[in-house]
């Protein structure tokens, strides 16, 4: 993609990575991603905001050379993670006079992760201004809008907020601006689930702060620029809010059909009570586990409950169910209820291991566990009905302000 202007004197010079399949070896990226870098030409100084993933340095450099960028005064680093800062050492070889600019939080992590000494930086802190002539950047720290060092920069002249990872999406596109397409919103939601959800209370505060700033555009470090910021801000207000949907997510694994029977009965009974159900088969094919776990996380941004339906293997939970439970636990959805149903052949410790794997979900109410020996009987299925009715009652009792 060529460099694209997003405003007068501001170019998007980042690179697209449409073939990227996974991010952080954890999150499927079906739409690829982009590593956004922005070049701001003031009347006095030129600043580059962030670099790109080091694997794409040559493409990035070619882009800067094609634009005949002879001098960069400041390389502003909003975040240390290598997909944004990883090209900086190579870039400095071509722009040796550039001064690195970052907050103390970034500088500390840059020393740890890229071995760049703090002497190479000009420190800017909360509320400080970097004057470029006409354009000037005001900095706001947003710790744990992924890492402890994330920082936003707001350009007063254009009204553009450079938001680092916040409000991003793993979405490669030739178009620089986001549309309100379902696909882009889906990518932004998946990104929220796996990157922002663990820190949703902080992200809520940052979102409210950005709403009050009323930026003209939001230029994130990943994905298209939000030239209508309300599109993404409305979504973040919903995702970080207290309301949930009347939805139960059932991640399930079934080796010989028993857990499948339980999942189907639970689904049927919940649906009869007016509760939506999303079933995610973790073991359908070799790629299911990671892809379906990604869907589970995406579902849990707004779902009221998650019930794992998994069998016992060698005394414990099937490893596919255990993996999904661990990832859910790590990403801390605001889900109100968590439960375990399943089967065993002749003995099981599945419940205690499952409870231990999900011990971080302290704000989530734990439902009674329901396990059956072998293939569930008709009598067992009546217990599944009772379980579903009890869960439906709890969800419906949340009341209108929470649903």
Q: Which CB, 199 or 252, lies closer to ligand FEO? A: 199
Long-range contacts of 110-113 (CB under 8 A, 24+ apart): 110/77, 110/80, 110/85, 113/80, 113/82, 113/85
- Is residue 84 involved in binding ligand FEO (CB under 6 A)? yes
Q: Applying CB under 6 A, which part among 3-11, 76-84, 251-259, 344-352 lies near ligand FEO?
A: 76-84
Residue 335: CA count within 13 A, CB half-sphere = 29
Of 82 and 288, nearer to ligand FEO (C-beta) is 82
**Least distance to ligand FEO, CB of residue 271, Å:** 38
Phi, psi at residue 348, to the nearest 5°?
-160, 145
For residue 366, give the nearest of 333, 339, 331 by alpha carbon: 339
Classify residue 4 as exposed, middle or buried by CB count within 10 Å of its CB (0-12, 13-18, 19+): middle
- Give the residues across from 308 on adjacent strands: 340
Report the distance separating Cα 364 and Cα 359, nearest Å.
Answer: 10
- 83 touching ligand FEO, by CB under 6 A: yes
Of 164 and 358, the one with the shorter C-beta distance to ligand FEO is 164
Per-residue DSSP letter, 369:
P
Other Cβ atoms closer than 10 A to 379: 8
Q: How far is the CB of 50 from ligand FEO (least distance, A)?
A: 9
Residues 185-224 that bind ligand FEO (CB under 6 A): 221-222
Nearer to ligand FEO, 63 or 84 (CB): 84
Piece of the chain touching ligand FEO by CB under 6 A; list 81-89, 175-183, 267-275, 393-401: 81-89
Residue 74 CB, nearest approach to ligand FEO (Å): 20
Which range in 79-87, 178-186, 240-248, 313-321 contacts ligand FEO by CB under 6 A? 79-87
Looking only at residues 292 through 311 of this chain, which bind ligand FEO when binding is defined by CB under 6 A? none
Cβ-closest residue to ligand FEO? 81
CA–CA gap between residue 150 and residue 394 (Å, rounded): 38
81 or 380: whose CB is closer to ligand FEO? 81
Instruction: Out of 12, 16, 81, 192, point to the residue binding ligand FEO (CB under 6 A).
Output: 81
Helices (H), 273-377: 288-300, 319-331, 350-357
Angle at the Cα of 390 from the Cα atoms of 387 and 396, rounded to 5 degrees? 135
Among 17, 135, 141, 146, binds ligand FEO (CB under 6 A): 146
CA distance to 87, 134, 157, 220, 277, per residue, from 9 (Å): 23, 10, 10, 18, 49
Quote the least distance from Cβ 79 to ligand FEO, whole Å.
Answer: 6
Q: Work out how close the CB of 56 gets to ligand FEO at its nearest, in angstroms, rounded to a whole number.
A: 13
Query: Which of the ranges 78-86, 227-235, 258-266, 278-286 carries the binding residues for ligand FEO, by CB under 6 A?
Result: 78-86
Q: Which residues contact 175 (CB under 8 A, 6 or more apart)?
A: 224
Instruction: Determine if 79 is a binding residue for ligand FEO (CB under 6 A).
Output: yes
Q: Smallest distance from the beta carbon of 53 to ligand FEO, in angstroms? A: 9
Residues near ligand FEO (CB under 6 A) are 79, 81, 83-84, 146-147, 165, 221-222
């Amino acid at each position: 993609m060529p460099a694209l202007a997003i405003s007068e004197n501001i170019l998007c010079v980042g690179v697209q990575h449409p073939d990227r399949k996974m991010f952080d070896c954890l999150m499927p990226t079906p739409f690829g991603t982009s590593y956004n870098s922005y070049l701001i030409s003031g009347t006095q100084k030129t600043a580059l905001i962030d670099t790109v993933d080091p694997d794409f340095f040559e493409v990035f450099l070619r882009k800067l050379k094609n634009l005949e960028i002879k001098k960069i005064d400041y390389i502003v680093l909003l975040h240390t993670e290598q997909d944004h800062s990883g090209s900086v050492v190579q870039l400095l070889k071509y722009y040796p006079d550039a001064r690195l600019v970052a907050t103390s939080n970034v500088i500390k992590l840059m020393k740890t992760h890229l071995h760049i000494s703090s002497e190479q930086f000009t420190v800017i802190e909360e509320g400080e201004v970097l004057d470029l002539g006409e354009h000037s950047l005001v900095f706001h720290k947003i710790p744990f809008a992924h890492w402890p060092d994330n920082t936003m920069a707001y350009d007063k002249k254009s009204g553009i907020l450079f938001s680092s990872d916040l409000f991003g999406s793993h979405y490669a596109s030739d178009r620089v601006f986001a549309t309100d397409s379902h696909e882009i919103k889906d990518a932004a939601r998946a990104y929220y689930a796996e990157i922002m959800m663990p820190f949703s209370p902080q992200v809520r505060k940052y979102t409210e702060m950005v709403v009050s700033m009323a930026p003209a555009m939001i230029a994130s470090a990943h994905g298209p620029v939000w030239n209508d910021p309300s599109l993404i801000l409305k979504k973040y207000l919903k995702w970080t809010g207290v309301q949930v949907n009347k939805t139960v997510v059932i991640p399930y694994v079934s080796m010989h059909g028993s857990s499948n029977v339980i999942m189907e009965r639970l689904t049927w009974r919940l649906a009869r009570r007016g509760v939506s159900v999303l079933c995610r088969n973790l073991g359908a094919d070799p790629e299911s586990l990671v892809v379906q776990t990604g869907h589970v996380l995406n579902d849990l941004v707004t779902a009221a409950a998650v019930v794992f339906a998994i069998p016992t293997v060698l005394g414990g939970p099937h490893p596919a169910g255990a993996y999904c439970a661990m990832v859910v636990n790590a990403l801390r959805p605001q889900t109100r209820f968590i439960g375990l149903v399943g089967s065993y052949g002749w003995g099981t410790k599945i419940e205690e291991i499952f409870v231990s794997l999900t011990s971080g979900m302290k704000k989530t109410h734990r439902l009674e566990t329901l396990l059956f020996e072998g293939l569930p009987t008709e009598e067992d299925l009546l217990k599944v009905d009772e379980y579903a009715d009890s869960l439906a009652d709890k969800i419906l009792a949340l009341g209108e302000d929470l649903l």
